[in-house]
Structure 1
Amino acid sequence: MTNTTTRLPLTDGLEARLPELEALYRDLHRHPELAFQERRTAAVIAAELRAQGWDTTEHVGGTGVVGVLRSGDGPVVLLRADMDGLPVREATGLPYASTDTAVDPDGEEVPVMHACGHDMHVTCLLGATGQLAAHRDAWRGTVVALFQPAEENGEGAAAMAADGFLDRFPRPEVCLGQHVGPLPVGVAVTRPGPVMSASDSFRVRLFGRGGHGSSPEHTVDPVVLAAAVVMRLQTVVSREIGANQSAVVTVGSIHAGTRQNVIPDEAELKVNIRTTDARVRGRVLSAVERIIRAEAAASGAPKDPEITPLTALPLTVNDAQATERAVAGLRSALGDAAVLPLPWPLAGSEDFGNFGTAFGVPSVFWHFGGADPELFGEDGIAALMSGELPAGLPTNHSPYYAPVPGPTIDRGVRAMLGAAAQWVGTDRLPPAR
């Protein structure tokens, strides 16, 4: 539902601002920071918000930043961007590529990269806040701009919500968020209901009895045990989950031993599980634990495995009515043909949904394109909607991933403004030129 009594020029002047926004993006990309270490990023955001005229609060939930801007009476809308990077060594070869390092929670020095596009999210939201501040006479209500730390470890949204958020800031009527991805620039996809998977991660310690590599008969080899667990876990999805259901089980890390001729005492695995249904999630979690413990028993392990939860990200669910309104705004901003229905929930995960759950309000999340449209060819959109990507196109979390800056920023700002205007605006935004 859109109030069409007045046309709001929320995107007026955006083209003139794109060079400074692109410079901001390049700076953020060059200087990524890990979860809850986003101090430089937060300082840049806070300074920009204050310069635009927003009431700005830092250190929310750790390193989070919240800006509030009011323009008369009306709805309260929350716009969210996440801002942490990943422990990935960048291989894009870009002139503004990151060479930064940081110390991770395990005390290890690691390379850091914005391999998931959070620098783009911050830039687009700051672009939107600048437009809202410049055109306060063209909208009514209150906008809460939320810059979240620690999305990658799944803790940032909950930390901000728990930091007295509703006592310190206006309660939103809706939470809106977006994520850049390997889609053509100008395209956005979303759906009502489940839009991104739940994610559960665990650290598994498997115990053996070490000894000399020449005498395995005197040991319980945790390396062989770990290999058996890894292989058997591959049967969870293929043999215990129906073809009409969805689940992913990944062992992303395995460590054991230090020398080729020494059988170690233990091995460590890190396991990640993705599901889109609560009942399937329960079955998968149960099967994974059953297999780990059974393989340890079959190997004669002297001690039961230790299974320690690492992160848990909820199923991201879009409210149906709010999604209908947001899609109308996206179409007004990007064009009808550019906004496509997501055919199924994505296997990736997000903690964005924690805001709507904590505040008791609907939320909507969409994905927008950051890749050169020419890479997709004439039938690219049809292939995209069937789950195919152009060969060799880097995806999020790849060391080669980086959106095309200029047009992506423009469309990302327009998308956020278009969706927000469905609540605080009095007319639809003009379409992108």
Structure 2
Amino acid sequence: MTTPAPAAALTRALALYRDVHAHPELSGEEVRTAHAFARTLGESGLRVVGGVGGHGVVGTLDNGPGPTVLVRAELDALPLQEDTGLDYASTATSSGGRPVMHACGHDLHLAALAGAADTLARDRSGWRGRLVVVGQPAEETLEGAAAMVADGLLDVTGPLDAVLAQHSVPLPAGMVAHGGGPVLAGSATLAVTVRGRGGHAASPHLTVDPAVVAASIVLQLQTVVSRAASPSEPVIVNVGRLHVDSPPNVVADVATLEVTVRAVAETTLVRLVERVRAIVHAQCASAGCPAEPLVVEVARSPVTQPDAGVTATVRDAHVRHLGAQRVTWWPPSLATEDVAHLTAGGAPLGYWMLGAVGPAAWAAAPGTSALEKLTSLPANHSPRYAPDAPRALAAGVDALVVAVRALASA
């Protein structure tokens, strides 16, 4: 078992983590975070380009002939009020006045990537080729990866031979977990507009109430999972927003809904989205809506399916360098993200989960089995999500360094 990252790199990574955690920024607003990450990469000797696909940062480091390996972390945070009690907890607000918190571990991912880049830059033995380090904006809105590709990311990097990423989860800090197939779901977010005919609440028979139609759509959508998908397929349909803007004595003209559909197979996702569209149109037709509903796909993320060959290579390297007791398997999850867009040029994807729970928090968590503890610990997107930064960062830096060296071995 080895620990590739020197203490100095970990110290700098931890300082970046605390700084980014205390100053989070929402998707599309990552100006300060991008600047801090770019500055750190520049100090490590990478050539840095900013403003790719929004506030995206791309650092490159050449080390002779060899493969080009891109490693990505995220810049953005979530609109949550932090409740961790940390001495570096966020008190930041967005441009719109909402509280902001790094509740998904993006600060941890970013700091680990900075530490790995610093380690690989200062010790270039054991790897050859081009290292590409990407700080991606707008992951939480599932827009940033595709935006970077559309804005010429591959023109900066050149053809890619592999794309790598890791994501923190409430496993014990120091562990990594790989998937044997798809690890995260593909998703589609749909914005639905129901067009009714408004009027006076005292004369509902003269209206077509879009609130009632929208409510019937919500109820009918509950049949999609149970009747349009196999019981063996992990799928989900969720209505996250239903909005009707009228006083109680008015029947509105319009109601809007926002729906997410998720599945771990692309064919299933396509089928379920079509089913959702059919239900919306059928409910509006049966209610006599005066105009067709509008269904717009506002976001799409592919299934996160790591390449089997890359997974085998990286997992074997993790076992050798981290120890078999620190490497486990990860089942498919209906969480989603957009990193697979970075493989648009055909590069294979390597992706694993990074444990972030310290021993004290793990021991204090209710339950006697690992599953019981996992379900009781604050998970990603919780206002109480607080990784054990020193332990998780050390493992995260090591995992990335080991993966790059395994794929670009000298």
Does structure 1 retain, via aligned residues, the 8 Å contact 2:9–2:119? no
**DSSP-derived class of the 2:182 partner:** strand
Change (3 A) 1:94 1:219: farther
Change (3 A) 1:286 1:361: same
The ranges of structure 1 where at least 4 consecutive aligned residues each deviate by more than 6 angstroms after the TM superposition are: 378-382
Please list the CA deviations of residues 84-134 of structure 1 after superposition, one character each: whole Å capped at 9, or x if unmatched. 11222323333322222224xxxx543322221111110000010111122
Q: Does 1:417 align with 2:401?
A: yes
* Match of residue 3 from structure 1: none
- List aligned pairs for 1:212-251, cutoff 5 A: 212-251=200-239
Partners of 2:266 and 2:368 in 1: CA distance: 31
Partners of 1:57 and 1:266 in 2: CA distance: 45
Q: Which 10-residue stretch deviates more, 54-63 or 228-237?
A: 54-63
Does structure 2 retain, via aligned residues, the 8 Å contact 1:9–1:138? no
- Aligned-residue offset at 1:241: 1.2
Does structure 1 retain, via aligned residues, the 8 Å contact 2:73–2:135? yes
Q: Does 1:179 align with 2:163?
A: no
Counterpart residue identity of residue 377, structure 2: L
Instruction: Report % sequence identity.
Output: 42
Change (3 A) 1:29 1:9: closer
* Match of residue 363 from structure 1: 349
Does structure 2 retain, via aligned residues, the 8 Å contact 1:10–1:138? no
Q: CA RMSD in A?
A: 2.3
Does structure 1 retain, via aligned residues, the 8 Å contact 2:103–2:382? yes
Partners of 1:347 and 1:391 in 2: CA distance: 15
* Match of residue 431 from structure 1: none
Does structure 1 retain, via aligned residues, the 8 Å contact 2:139–2:145? yes
Change (3 A) 1:213 1:9: closer
Does structure 2 retain, via aligned residues, the 8 Å contact 1:10–1:132? no
- Aligned-residue offset at 1:305: 1.1
Does structure 2 retain, via aligned residues, the 8 Å contact 1:10–1:135? no
- List aligned pairs for 1:170-319, cutoff 5 A: 170-319=158-307
Partners of 1:261 and 1:332 in 2: CA distance: 69
Aligned length: 409
- List aligned pairs for 1:67-216, cutoff 5 A: 67-103=59-95, 109-216=97-204
**DSSP-derived class of the 1:136 partner:** coil
Choose the corresponding residue for 1:34, options 26, 42, 55: 26
**DSSP-derived class of the 1:324 partner:** helix
Change (3 A) 1:278 1:138: closer
- Aligned-residue offset at 1:359: 2.0
**DSSP-derived class of the 2:94 partner:** strand
* Match of residue 406 from structure 1: 390
- Aligned-residue offset at 1:22: 2.1
Structure 2 residues without counterparts, runs of 5 or longer:
none
* Match of residue 397 from structure 1: 381
Counterpart residue identity of residue 396, structure 2: G
Partners of 1:340 and 1:299 in 2: CA distance: 52
Does structure 1 retain, via aligned residues, the 8 Å contact 2:2–2:322? no
Does structure 2 retain, via aligned residues, the 8 Å contact 1:71–1:137? no
- Aligned-residue offset at 1:246: 2.1
- Aligned-residue offset at 1:418: 1.5
Counterpart residue identity of residue 84, structure 1: D
Choose the corresponding residue for 2:14, options 9, 14, 22: 22
Counterpart residue identity of residue 153, structure 1: T
Counterpart residue identity of residue 264, structure 2: T
- Aligned-residue offset at 1:171: 2.4
* Match of residue 429 from structure 1: none
Does structure 2 retain, via aligned residues, the 8 Å contact 1:56–1:65? yes
- Aligned-residue offset at 1:314: 0.7
Partners of 1:63 and 1:178 in 2: CA distance: 20
* Match of residue 4 from structure 2: 10
- Aligned-residue offset at 1:416: 0.8
